[in-house]
Amino acid sequence: MKIAVGIIGIGISIFVMLQAMAITGLGGLAEEEAMQQAGSVGVLVALLMFVASAFTFGLPKVAGVIFIVAALLAFMVSGDFPDMGVWGAIALVLGFLAFIAARKTANTIKA
């Protein structure tokens, strides 16, 4: 399960990064400060999701915490950048799956 969460997280973080960079650029062109700031936070969310995905392979508990932090940031800017609500929900699900993977790994090590 750790491998699946990591691969899915890396793939989604790439999409989030591309979309957030486009929103940041368009916000700058349109001179809309709120959209530009929301896009910048979106880039941070994408970076956090990528880092969390990398941590999923070795430290799934740490990855779960980072995914949840990314989800909270995404929910904070979802008013100005509505797609971040979707990405935040996906990050939240990936965070909980990382915690489940950590528990399964701990149970197999004890057995």
Q: Where are the domains of the chain?
A: 2-105
User: Over the stretch 60-99, which tens digit does the pLDDT of each residue have?
Assistant: 999 999 999 999 999 999 988 889 999 999 999 999 999 9
Residue 111 has pLDDT above 60, yes or no: no
Determine the straight-line distance between the first and last CA of the chain, rounded to whole angstroms: 18
User: Over the stretch 12-65, which tens digit does the pLDDT of each residue have?
Assistant: 999 999 999 999 898 888 888 888 888 899 999 999 999 999 999 999 999 999
Give pTM, 2 decimals: 0.90
